[in-house]
Amino acid sequence: MRSSDKSDYALRGVSYLVVTVFTIFCLLPFVLIVSASVSEESQIMEHGFGLLPRGFSLTAYEFIFKSPRQLIGSYVVTITMTVFGTAIGLLIIAMTGYALQRKDFPLRNGISFFIYFTTLFSAGLAPTYLWVARELGLRGNYLAVFLQLLMTPWLIILMKNFVRSVPNEITESGKVDGAGDFRIFLRLILPMMKPALATTGLFLALGYWNEWYLSSLYLGSTVEFKPLQYYLYNVINTANALKSSMAGNNVTVTQLPTNTLKMASAVVATGPIVLLYPFVQRYFVSGITVGAVKG
């Protein structure tokens, strides 16, 4: 018993230490961004960013909040997509995951491979674009982004694996009671899958929240409000894109976003989710714990 206690303390001590160090490591860049966003532009030009603000100025924030319409619109678009996408995606993924792990489902291997195969071969940008934009007619339509993010093979297989921890007897007992498969899933299985749903839902939500690439392809400037991260990408990447391409040699761009404006935009676009995360996390962690007690 004594040796086990000692090793317990040792492991716990190491854990606290490593986690603390890693946490600081993850926090540093944020400090850099926030401090740059409240620095004075002239100071940044001369000395670069620092962990402490160089000078102090809220000009960048004033500039953003003078006309917050775009930003608010982007928030609304992203939040809407995230909420609905996560809910719908989660339901489909959970259904599929459950069906695919049912041992009495003869098609499960076939369908699993059907889904996994898409990670090995994808059509690439141009063919996919032609299909989605031209044949499905989704160019300039939020649905092009919304639908394509609904699920990934990885999340389905992950879910399938999670569902395995729900004892088979539950399905069997449901069958004995004469319930249909869907009813079993909805009434008996879903409530037991909280940790899986929390994890998968978190990944789905993050997928929607961080999306900018599909928006760049399918939305561009055709929509009035860009999804949040694409909006941010536009603010941050303009100078970069001009400098690394032929346009930079050929056009005279009058106004590029300043460093402080870029950083302030980043703070405004990511700040709220960071503040919100602990609240979401509470449900997430308790969901896992509830599931774990049972499982």
CA 11 to chain CA centroid, nearest Å: 32
Q: How far is the CB of 173 from another protein (least distance, A)?
A: 17
State the binding string over 196-225 for another protein (x if CB under 8 A, else -).
x-xx--xx--x--xx-x---xx--xxx---
Task: List % helix, strand, coil for the chain (3-state, nearest 5).
Answer: 75, 0, 25
Which of 34, 133, 188, 190 binds another protein (CB under 8 A)? It is 133
The residue among 245, 278, 292, 272 whose CA lies nearest residue 75 is 272
Q: What is the dihedral of CA 110, 111, 115, 120, to 10 degrees?
A: 0
Among 55, 65, 83, 161, binds another protein (CB under 8 A): 161
Contact 219, 145 (CB under 8 A): yes
Q: Does 286 interact with another protein (rule: CB under 8 A)?
A: no
Closer CB to another protein, residue 173 or residue 289?
Answer: 289
| Contact with another protein (CB under 8 A) among 58, 76, 87, 123 | 123
Q: Which residues have CB under 8 Å from 203's CB, separation 6+?
A: 155
Residue 61 touching another protein (CB under 8 A): no
| Residue 80 interacts with another protein (CB under 8 A): yes or no | no
- Give 71's contacts (C-beta < 8 A, 6+ positions apart): 64, 231, 268, 269
What residues between 254 and 283 interact with another protein by CB under 8 A?
A: 254-256, 258-259, 262, 266, 270, 273-274, 277-278, 281-282
| Angle (CA) 228 209 18, round 5° | 120
Q: Count the neighbouring beta carbons within 10 Å of the beta carbon of residue 167.
A: 12
The set of long-range contacts for 69-72, using a CB threshold of 8 Å and a minimum separation of 24, is 70/225, 70/226, 70/231, 71/231, 71/268, 71/269
Q: Is 45 or 83 the residue whose CB approaches another protein more closely?
A: 45
Q: How far is the CB of 87 from another protein (least distance, A)?
A: 13
Of 83 and 253, nearer to another protein (C-beta) is 253
Is position 111 an interface residue for another protein (rule: CB under 8 A)? yes
Residue 78 makes contact with another protein by CB under 8 A: no
In degrees, rounded to 5, the angle at the alpha carbon of residue 221 between the alpha carbons of residues 206 and 87 is 30
Closer to another protein by Cβ: residue 48 or 55: 48
x/- track of binding to another protein for residues 164-183 (CB under 8 A): xx--------------xxx-
Q: With respect to another protein, which residue has the nearer C-beta, 80 or 270?
A: 270
Tell me the per-residue interface mask from 10 to 49 with another protein, x by CB under 8 A, - otherwise. Answer: xxx-xxx-xxx-xx-xxx-xx-xx--x-----x--xxxxx
Give the orientation angle of helix 228-243 with respect to helix 259-294, to 10 degrees: 140
Interaction of residue 79 with another protein, rule CB under 8 A: no
- Under the binding rule (CB under 8 A), the answer on residue 104 touching another protein is yes
Told to check if 192 binds another protein by CB under 8 A, we report: no
